[in-house]
Amino acid sequence: MLIFAANMNWKREQILSVLDQRCANFTFPMLDNGYVYLAATRLSLYRSETDWGMVIEVFGYSPRAGLPDIHIHTLASALQNRDSRDQYKSPEAQSSCH
């Protein structure tokens, strides 16, 4: 797991490394979800010298639920109000949610 200081100067390679790690851990949003028929997505990006953020919105239809399906994924250099460790049953459960 990569941990970075809050006020560091983010370089492109460091941001891509975080995104690559999320993919390797299977925690990056997948747009080819077999359980949701994709209808639309939106990507919002922010970057400054000291912070970066990404929001991926995915909208589709879930035939299993028979309802629309909306997911909002956030990735950033610093996220606020994250769940604390004691709110998870195990470290594995916590890592699967982030």
Q: What is the pLDDT of residue 59?
A: 95
Q: Is residue 46 part of a domain?
A: yes
CA–CA distance, 2 with 30 (Å, rounded to integer): 21
The answer to whether the CB of 37 falls within 8 A of the CB of 27 is no
Q: Is residue 84 part of a domain?
A: yes
Residue 12 CA from chain centroid, whole number: 17
- For strand 37-47 and strand 67-76, is the pairing parallel, antiparallel, or unpaired? unpaired
Q: Is residue 67 part of a domain?
A: yes
Q: Is residue 5 part of a domain?
A: no
pLDDT in tens, 88-97: 777 766 555 5
Domains of the chain: total: 1
pLDDT in tens, 11-62: 888 889 988 988 898 888 888 888 999 999 999 999 888 889 999 999 999 9
Q: What is the pLDDT of residue 3?
A: 47
**Confidence (pTM):** 0.68
pLDDT higher for 85 or 1? 85
Range of the domain at 16: 12-96
The answer to whether the CB of 35 falls within 8 A of the CB of 62 is yes
Q: Is residue 6 part of a domain?
A: no
Q: What is the pLDDT of residue 77?
A: 86
Q: Is residue 7 part of a domain?
A: no
